[in-house]
Structure 1
Amino acid sequence: MINNSQEAEKKWRSCKPRTNIFFLKTHKTASSTIMNILFRYGESHNLTFAFPTIKYHYDYPNLFSTDNVLGFSTEKEQNYNIMCHHMRFHLPEVEKIMPSDTFYFTILRNPVTLMESAFSYYKDSSSFIRTTDIETFLKNPKRHYNKWMYDSGYAKNLMTFDLGINHNGPESEKQFKLLWRAVDAVFDLVLIAEYFDESLVLLKDALCWTLDDVLSFPLNLRSDRSRHVLSAQTEEKIKSWNQLDWQLYMYFNHSFWSRVENFGRERMEKEVEELRRRRAQVSEKCLDDQVEPHQLRDKSMVPYQPFSARILGYNLKRGLRREAYRLCYRLVLPELQYSELLLTKHLKRRVHLP
């Protein structure tokens, strides 16, 4: 008798790789690593990216508009395959850009660790700049938080805000259900940052890609010096302050594991093990170490450094051959530099089009 896992695997082997992809890049959720995967796949398969008019985001934190896409015009036919830069999601406008068969996905993270990370990364935002630590902010958040400020989303329900939903909205069981349904109706897959490798396997399966296509190293990681250990009391305050995000995360964490069950637990364990084996193999081939910015040998590989956090980068092994270097370099190339590289290639291609 064939079980669900075997049927799913048989179906995957006969499917066609998806190339029209929309990724909502939520903040501080391991989304930079996902973006690197999409950059590499799109580059290697000669796919077309929808680049923002502003270098690295679609006029965030304003709601997305077609005006934010470089070169887009309703007067001429254009084909975009991948959209993945930061935006505040607005489906009606996104649908004007992306094909009707586009695969939509995003990623969520536990709001507790997300807010601790956001406080460090966005310390210069209007809500956090006058507070010494996250505990001080949470003692009386309304003293520091102004919901009308353009950057208020960094300090409250950041994922809800990125999804284009009112992050200061009412909190009730009915509202939570409306939130779940709205996200569920749009996104074909919601990944969970805490189960990153399992998420990559589900993504690979949904897109009909291979494990090598989703192979990655963690990017945009903070140094330990930038991290802050939270008390149990502070964690509960974060959940309460970010209740919309918390309810969103709890719902999709549950649905994520339902999806894993359908995929097959045993099959999942095998694929995660294989993914980690390949990552370790490529790490041994490519990497010397992961270091603080001042320790990077190639200064062009320094990741963006925010107000107070220190973002780590990678030193590649010396003496790599050309093809190996190309792979290794792109695996660890920081988000802004990779986006710049792809944009340059895109503009050159446009110049040479008939």
Structure 2
Amino acid sequence: MVERWWKQRKGDLSNEPINQIPYTKRGSCEPHANIFLLKTHKTASSTVMNILLRYGEFHNLTFAFPKQNYQYMYPEYFSAQNVYGFSSRKQQEFNIMCHHMRFSLTEVEKVMPNDTFYLTILRNPVTLMESSFAYYKHANSFYNATNIEDFLHNKTKLYQGNESDSAYAKNLMTFDLGFNHNGPESLKHFKLFYQAVDTMFDLVLIAEYFDESLVLLKHALCWSFDDVLSFPLNSRSNTSRHVLSVETKERIKSWNQLDWQLYMYFNNSFWDNVEKFGRERMKNEVEELRKRRAQISEKCLDDQVEPHQLKDKSIAPYQPNSTRILGYNLKSGLDGNDQLLCHRLVLPEIQYTNLLHEKQFGNKTVT
């Protein structure tokens, strides 16, 4: 069990032992402990994942880990058999599932409890595709393109829709959600698509309004501000970013029409939820969240740096061949509780998965 952490923090959590916190009532609700995150690609989902990994660790929850490669056999559809320790012959209890998969509700339901809270996160398809091109330049459809404009102008030649990695180049969120990323583009199909997603997920976060999303998540899960504290993870260096023209942005929208319609629908519904929550209330809670993030940043961080500038290589993020991912240097002299929290806030998903996998099963890494 993780020992009592950050004992001096202020908030609505008590100093009870960590394993009792999920079951401590806060006002009229109880904190959710059973949570599924569809970790969509290039949408700030690594930061959301860190929140869930940290919450699960500090509250002694059980994770549904992939059997291998830190994802559930992506890009194949998810199967319950891909979960480490899952057996259809005996009942297990998994609280949190949050690694990459191609979503299949029926298979996830075989693993997760009936009262599981389902969430995912979406991002503007324009910036998502720019990020995807930089991160997945090795993908078959992108490999021979000089830049994203070259790909868009020559997509009929370059796009290989029958390749297993083709979704990196078109409608990536649609694919992650389990739908056909090369599917028909009609008003009826758009409507069926986003209505299905709306039915399956309890909350859809929006990357462009990340702090507002965390406030809605905090209330939906009956969590505290401290539970949703985070630093941006898996962020690219500015040298890897590409400025897009208005024409290129419009081409991306047209090419990723399924993703665009999905994003527009949930962006609108997101702000409907904010209206119901109360705009003034949202403004106040976002300010409080940012204040607490600034305080913990001042406590924890020296700076955010390029990979070669990291002092502690054990917390270096994974580096794809085509771009550079930033990491964090922690301040020296942190005491035990602060050191624990600060370390977990910046720990990349591969290292965090290995750490929790070892705690849960006794073996050091995902194979």
Instruction: Tell me whether the two structures share a fold, i.e. TM-score over 0.5.
Output: yes
Alpha-carbon distance between aligned partners in 1 of 2:307 and 2:100, rounded to the nearest angstrom: 23
What is aligned with 2:35? Answer: 21
For structure 1, the 5+ residue unaligned runs are 1-10, 350-354
Q: After TM superposition, list the pairs within 5 Å mapping 1:126-145 onto structure 2.
A: 126-145=140-159
What is aligned with 1:289? Answer: 303
Alpha-carbon distance between aligned partners in 1 of 2:240 and 2:175, rounded to the nearest angstrom: 24
Could you list the per-position Cα deviations for residues 76-99 of structure 1 after superposition, in whole angstroms to 9, with x for gaps in the alignment?
110010000000000110110011
Alpha-carbon distance between aligned partners in 2 of 1:231 and 1:315, rounded to the nearest angstrom: 35
Q: Contact 1:51–1:70 at 8 Å: present in 2 too?
A: yes
Q: Contact 1:215–1:275 at 8 Å: present in 2 too?
A: yes
Residue 161 (1) aligns with residue 170 (2):
no
Give the match's secondary structure for 1:256. Answer: helix
Alpha-carbon distance between aligned partners in 2 of 1:229 and 1:12, rounded to the nearest angstrom: 45
Q: Percent identity?
A: 71
Q: Which amino acid aligns with 1:269?
A: K
What is aligned with 2:20? Answer: none
Query: In the TM superposition, what is the alpha-carbon distance from 1:348 to its structure 2 partner?
Result: 2.4
Runs (4+) off by over 6 Å: none
Alpha-carbon distance between aligned partners in 2 of 1:13 and 1:255, rounded to the nearest angstrom: 27
Give the match's secondary structure for 1:320. Answer: coil
* Aligned with 2:345 (options 331, 337, 347): 331
Aligned length: 340
For structure 2, the 5+ residue unaligned runs are 1-24
Q: After TM superposition, list the pairs within 5 Å mapping 1:174-213 onto structure 2.
A: 174-213=188-227
Alpha-carbon distance between aligned partners in 2 of 1:229 and 1:151, rounded to the nearest angstrom: 25
Alpha-carbon distance between aligned partners in 2 of 1:26 and 1:337, rounded to the nearest angstrom: 19
Alpha-carbon distance between aligned partners in 1 of 2:268 and 2:154, rounded to the nearest angstrom: 32
Q: Which amino acid aligns with 2:216?
A: L
Q: After TM superposition, list the pairs within 5 Å mapping 1:237-276 onto structure 2.
A: 237-276=251-290
What is aligned with 1:8? Answer: none
Query: In the TM superposition, what is the alpha-carbon distance from 1:303 to its structure 2 partner?
Result: 0.3
- What RMSD in Å do the two structures reach over aligned CA positions? 1.3
Alpha-carbon distance between aligned partners in 1 of 2:147 and 2:321, rounded to the nearest angstrom: 14
Q: Which amino acid aligns with 1:50?
A: A
Give the match's secondary structure for 1:13. Answer: coil
What is aligned with 2:246? Answer: 232
Q: Which amino acid aligns with 1:19?
A: A
* Aligned with 1:62 (options 63, 71, 76): 76
Could you list the per-position Cα deviations for residues 132-161 of structure 1 after superposition, in whole angstroms to 9, with x for gaps in the alignment?
100000002121111110001110000000
Alpha-carbon distance between aligned partners in 2 of 1:260 and 1:324, rounded to the nearest angstrom: 33
Query: In the TM superposition, what is the alpha-carbon distance from 1:14 to its structure 2 partner?
Result: 1.0
Query: In the TM superposition, what is the alpha-carbon distance from 1:335 to its structure 2 partner?
Result: 1.0
Give the match's secondary structure for 2:362. Answer: helix
Alpha-carbon distance between aligned partners in 1 of 2:279 and 2:39, rounded to the nearest angstrom: 27
Alpha-carbon distance between aligned partners in 1 of 2:124 and 2:27, rounded to the nearest angstrom: 33
Q: Which amino acid aligns with 2:208?
A: E
Task: Give the 3 Å change call, closer, same or farther, for CA 12–192 of structure 1 in structure 2.
Answer: farther
Alpha-carbon distance between aligned partners in 2 of 1:255 and 1:113, rounded to the nearest angstrom: 20
Could you list the per-position Cα deviations for residues 92-121 of structure 1 after superposition, in whole angstroms to 9, with x for gaps in the alignment?
101100111110000000000000000000
Give the match's secondary structure for 2:121. Answer: strand
Q: Contact 1:12–1:205 at 8 Å: present in 2 too?
A: no
Query: In the TM superposition, what is the alpha-carbon distance from 1:13 to its structure 2 partner?
Result: 2.8
Query: In the TM superposition, what is the alpha-carbon distance from 1:322 to its structure 2 partner?
Result: 1.4
Q: Which amino acid aligns with 1:71?
A: G
* TM-score (structure 2 length as normaliser): 0.91
Tell me which protein shows more helix as a share of its residues: 1
* Aligned with 1:76 (options 90, 97, 100): 90
* Aligned with 1:298 (options 312, 319, 325): 312
Give the match's secondary structure for 1:106. Answer: strand
Q: Which amino acid aligns with 2:332?
A: R
What is aligned with 2:21? Answer: none
* TM-score (structure 1 length as normaliser): 0.95
Alpha-carbon distance between aligned partners in 1 of 2:349 and 2:114, rounded to the nearest angstrom: 27
